[in-house]
Structure 1
């Protein structure tokens, strides 16, 4: 995995220590203290260096990258977490769950769910202007998706640097089965409703995601290329929340319906069911 994260002002020992702290939380299943004491609140170069170190650990352990997630694209989610700009993380094969499937209890630390549009790429996004037109042409199809965010940091006490280091708080994702091309559905016009156990808890639109989910992917494409690890054909891109995220508990069932893209559902098992 090529890496060019820029010049981090945090020390190498701080970056290494932050990665170890977050890896320990993942291994133990016990959330840890924030890592901003080691890398700073807003040193994005340092935070992405921590993320890259954790990614290398996952790859060395046999995990396979399936795509990327864009986080913090919705003003509602930014307000929830006290940040003011998007970020991104890496998706791995063991994060994917089937539509209608069940996520085991304890699999995701401090889970919160958000509904979004996921895109699958048919072309690499490493060359050219990487503008909205090019990105639209490079998308094979979109589907309704649920992202299960999970923070390894206790009580979701995060700064931007904390969440970036923690792989943008990625936990798991679920893709719907109703594939739509962008000729058939305009992502910016999508209307979303998400419910937990049949009760609506989040609403939003495609325009809540940086004005247009495709523009969010264009932002990611340019950022990923600048950092030396461009998006590739076949990868999944979770484009960002269309509305507020919602905490979930064991036994909950979450369903999101996105106009034009259909519905997507996931359950969370209780310990006795795992």
Structure 2
């Protein structure tokens, strides 16, 4: 969990605690309750930036940490992390200019070809990306590109189903960070490649909905290289007190614009070197 530590994030100079001292602040506590109610009810809420500000990273990550702690206490298991807002196209869509991170829980994972009830994720939008599975911890050392590459067991094609607990996706940077980086669910492909077999930066992506191409991009769209996105995440996660661990899944960030989906949609992404990954959306709420 992202709790109990002082942090100095590379992305914005956070230097306040994200642990109990921070979550005792009334504004942070109110933001936690607002987002928790939206998660529990399935009814999107108002933005939380009126409570914690639009770009106070310490406050936003404190809200995220408190919500993560609640989910873990309720039985959810952390299986990885996601990097959000790595693509300039997605940053333009949401009006932000830097990446963020969120937590992946075990109940977010789906297999290639699965059907997902559209109500499983609030206000779902889909994006295609490279996912990494780690074979070793990223907790010590310089956490530079050579070390990070060596820690990757394999990469696969992935679809992330982003969701927002905030009505109308009316989010500033602090809103999406507090809301677990707008995470919802994810789907991993089946073709595994080591980083000796392909270069993530060279990936070419095409995503279609119902057979119509709706998003394209390349590995270079993800902070210049998905490996560099993983470097950013490894360092930031360590700063937040919860380093990346062996066996975890990392969604490295969108390679192109995300698109909304509805019941009846079938989404397929093709990533050169990694094959395809597909998901279908059906009527209904989360089981």
Contact 2:23/2:63 (8 A) holds in 1: no
For residues 117-156 of structure 1, what are the structure 2 equivalents within 5 Å?
Answer: 117-156=130-169
For residues 77-226 of structure 1, what are the structure 2 equivalents within 5 Å?
Answer: 77-226=90-239
- The count of aligned residue pairs is 274
Cα distance in 2 for residues equivalent to 1:17 and 1:266: 36
The alpha-carbon deviation at position 10 of structure 1 amounts to 9.2
| Structure-2 residue corresponding to 1:51 | 64
Which residue of 7, 20, 31 maps to 2:16?
7
Cα distance in 1 for residues equivalent to 2:145 and 2:72: 31
The alpha-carbon deviation at position 7 of structure 1 amounts to 1.3
| Structure-2 residue corresponding to 1:24 | 37
Contact 1:10/1:40 (8 A) holds in 2: no
Cα distance in 2 for residues equivalent to 1:37 and 1:48: 16
Contact 2:118/2:124 (8 A) holds in 1: no
Cα distance in 1 for residues equivalent to 2:263 and 2:94: 23
Cα distance in 1 for residues equivalent to 2:238 and 2:39: 28
Contact 2:208/2:267 (8 A) holds in 1: yes
The alpha-carbon deviation at position 171 of structure 1 amounts to 0.2
Contact 2:23/2:29 (8 A) holds in 1: no
| Structure-2 residue corresponding to 1:61 | 74
Contact 1:115/1:194 (8 A) holds in 2: yes
Alignment TM-score, normalising by the size of structure 1: 0.97
Which residue of 59, 73, 83 maps to 1:70?
83
Contact 1:34/1:153 (8 A) holds in 2: yes
The alpha-carbon deviation at position 271 of structure 1 amounts to 3.3
Contact 1:3/1:229 (8 A) holds in 2: no
| Structure-1 residue corresponding to 2:260 | 247
Contact 2:136/2:151 (8 A) holds in 1: yes
Q: Any idea what the Cα deviations from partners look like across 1:131-186, whole Å, max 9, x if unmatched?
A: 01100000000000000000000000000000000000000000000000011110
| Structure-1 residue corresponding to 2:246 | 233
Structure 1 counterpart SS, 2:215: strand
Computed over aligned residues only, the root mean square deviation of the Cα atoms, in angstroms, reads 1.6
Q: Any idea what the Cα deviations from partners look like across 1:181-228, whole Å, max 9, x if unmatched?
A: 011110000000000000000000000000100110000000111111
The alpha-carbon deviation at position 11 of structure 1 amounts to 7.1
Task: Mark the runs of 5 or more structure 2 residues left unpaired by the alignment.
Answer: 8-14
Cα distance in 2 for residues equivalent to 1:271 and 1:58: 23
Structure 2 counterpart SS, 1:265: strand
The alpha-carbon deviation at position 245 of structure 1 amounts to 0.3
Q: Any idea what the Cα deviations from partners look like across 1:75-128, whole Å, max 9, x if unmatched?
A: 000000000000000000000011100111311000000000000000100000
Structure 2 counterpart SS, 1:104: strand
Distance 1:16 1:240, change over 3 A: same
Task: Mark the runs of 5 or more structure 1 residues left unpaired by the alignment.
Answer: none
Which residue of 242, 252, 265 maps to 2:278?
265
